[in-house]
Amino acid sequence: MWWENCYRRNFELLAVVRPVLERLRDVTGETVTFSILMSEQTVVIDQVVSRNVTSTRFELGSSAPLHAGASGKVILAHLGPETQNKFLRLPHLKHLTQRTITSRLELEKELKKCRSKGFAISRGERFPSTCSIAAPVFGSENEVVGVISVIGPADRLRDTVIKSIVPLLLRETELLTEQIGRAVAEQKRTSRRRQGANKRGSTPTHWAGTDRSNHRAFRYQGS
């Protein structure tokens, strides 16, 4: 039930996200996912799976803690200071693999790097022998509405390949952020136009009384 509700709430967003995921899959050859923040976890709400025989894929609705993996680090890096510090003060960050970052100091360095560069990389932090590159998608108020990640086997996603993927990923997330901003602005303009039309077309409310201009009695006339 929670997954159905989540999908409905993000349905309009997913309609514009899906073509981006498909383009990145076609260009990189790897699985591409879109995740959002729910509670203190990332949740995969859409993906386009690699056509390679060996590929990474997720169950829609699967979740992971924020400190494990590229998507989580992106979201964690852009949380408000109070919320971020609350998470970092948790006494025991769980190890998912030997590479999972659980040191607060090391994690803070990763988050700073993510904010500076605009993306995060994970090498085996969530799943052994898996690599991912993730970048944020921002909403109209500069909040992170989701994260797009390119994920695949570590032996395919070598440093040289990652270096070629990063600019493609950043370009697509920036364009998507701009598209969302334009859509929100258009919704606001449409809403204001409707409100103006409603005000101009509204029927005045008259209470029972006397029209002193011609001394006729009148009663309330509703629309």
Reply yes or no on domain 29-184 having CATH 3.10.110.10: no
Of the pLDDT bands very low, low, confident and very high (cuts 50, 70, 90), residue 202 is low
CA distance 83 to 158: 34
pLDDT in tens, 128-146: 999 999 999 998 888 899 9
In the numeric block, which tokens belong to residue 66? 């924020």
What is the SS3 assignment for 220? coil
CA distance 101 to 207: 69
Q: How many CB atoms lie within 10 A of CB 191?
A: 10
pLDDT in tens, 58-84: 888 899 999 999 999 999 999 999 999
Specify the pairing of strand 41-48 against strand 144-153.
Answer: unpaired
Question: CA triplet 145, 18, 71: central angle to 5 degrees?
Answer: 45
Kindly state the percentage of the chain with pLDDT values over 90: 59
Least confident interval from 11-15, 110-114, 179-183, 196-200: 196-200
Torsions phi, psi for 149 (to 5 deg): -130, 140
* Segment 150-163 mean pLDDT: 96
In the numeric block, which tokens belong to residue 123? 């090498």
Determine the pLDDT at residue 203: 54
Domains of the chain by residue range: 29-184
Higher-pLDDT residue of 92 and 24 is 24
101 and 87 Cβ atoms separated by less than 8 Å: no
13 and 146 Cβ atoms separated by less than 8 Å: yes
